[in-house]
Structure 1
Amino acid sequence: HLIEEAGREDEFVIDSAGILSYHQGELPDSRMRAHAARRGYNLTHRSRPVRTDDFYEFDLIIGMDDRNIDDLKERAPSVEACGKIHRMTEYCTKFAHADYVPDPYYGGAEGFEYVLDILEDACAGLLGAVGEESPLNACCHDKNACCR
C-alpha cells in the first residue's frame, strides 16, 4: 500500500511466507482481513512456507519475533543469506518500544489493531530505510551471532 502510494511499485518484489506449512494455501485469518479492510487493505495473499530460494531471490527476509528470527537463521543457506534477516520492529519509529510483532490470533480485536499499528509504522520505516546509506543487506559483523 505504501509503495503504491509512493509510486514505487516497479522497484520492489514483495512476498509473504510463514515458518510452518500448516496453513499453506489459506488466506489470512478472517478477523485480520476484516480489521485490515477497515484500514483499506485487501489481504488476498495465500500462505506458503519460507523456501531456501527465498534467501537467493530477496534482498531482505523479515521476521516478526524471536522465534521467527531463530527459525529463519536455521533455514539460511549461508552466512551471507543470514545477513538478510531482519526483525520487522527494527524499522518502527512511533512504536520504538515494540521489540516484536505479537501474534493477535488468541486475543480480541485490540490485538489485531495493535499489530496493524505496529506493521504500518514498521512498513513506513522500512520504506524510508530502503535507499538510505544504512547497510540493510550487510551480513552480521559477528558471524557466529548471525547463524548457527
Structure 2
Amino acid sequence: MEKKKILFVCLGNICRSPAAEAVLKGMAQREGLADKLEIDSAGLTDYHEGEPADKRMQVHAKKRGYQLTSLSRPVDPIKDFDYYDMIIGMDDQNIRELERLAQGSQAVSKIFKMTDFCHDCSLEEVPDPYYGGAEGFELVLDLLEKSCRGLIDFLKEHV
C-alpha cells in the first residue's frame, strides 16, 4: 500500500475529527500500517484554533486507549485539498461545506463521509456530541471505531 494522507473534518475540530484521528492512528499502529498513513484533523470553523480537543472527548477516548494530542486548526481549502488524498467529514452538513470549499471535480472526488465506511452503523452520520452528555461521546466513539475499521479495510482493498 502506498502512503495515504487522510484528513478528518468536523465543525470545530475539538470532538469528532480529533477523535477520528486518534482512533485511526491507534488502529493503524496495531495493524502495522502507521508508516503507510498520514492522519490529521481540521475544522470548518476557526472558533477553537490552537486549542486541544474537548476535555470530555479526551476522557472518553482515554478510557478506550486513545490519546487526543492534536490542536484544532481550520481547513485550508487550497492546501488541504491539494495535499490530502481523502478528506472525511463527519456529517451531511460537513460534507456540503467541504463540497462548497472544493475547487473542481478532482477536489470533490476526495470527499467522503465517515459513516460511508461503516458496515453496521445505526446512524448515517456521526452526530456532534458537544451539547450533550457522556452517552453522546460514547456513541461518537462507537461510530468512529466501526467506521475506522471499515476505512482500514477499504484502504487495504483499494490502495
**Shorter-chain-normalised TM-score: which range?**
0.7 to 0.9
Higher relative contact order (CA 8 A, sep 6+): 2
TM-score (normalizing by structure 2) = 0.81
Which residue number in structure 1 is paired with residue 150 of structure 2?
125
How far 1:105 sits from its partner (Å)?
Answer: 1.0
**Where in structure 1 do 4 or more consecutive aligned residues deviate above 6 Å?**
none
Q: Which runs of 5+ in 1 are unaligned?
A: 137-148
TM-score (norm: length of structure 1): 0.87
- Secondary structure (helix, strand or coil) at the match of 2:38 reads coil
How far residue 66 of structure 1 moved from its aligned partner, in angstroms, is 1.1
Compare the two structures and name the one with the higher helix fraction: 2
Higher share in strand: 2
Larger radius of gyration: 1
What 5-or-longer segments of structure 2 have no aligned partner?
1-25
- Tell me which of 75, 79, 93 is aligned to 2:119: 93
After superposition, what is the alpha-carbon deviation per residue over 1:26-78, rounded to whole angstroms, capped at 9, x for unaligned?
01110000000010111010000111211111110000111100110111121
Alignment of 1:61-100 (within 5 A): 61-95=87-121, 97-100=122-125
SS of 2:43's partner is coil
Identity %: 50
Q: Deviations over 1:82-112 (max 9, x none)?
A: 11000000011231x3110000111110000
Structure 1 distance, partners of 2:82, 2:156, is: 20
1:10 aligns to what SS in structure 2? helix
Question: Which structure 2 residues correspond to residues 27-66 of structure 1 after superposition, within 5 A?
Answer: 27-51=52-76, 52-66=78-92
Out of 19, 22, 26, the residue aligned to residue 51 of structure 2 is 26
RMSD (CA atoms): 1.1
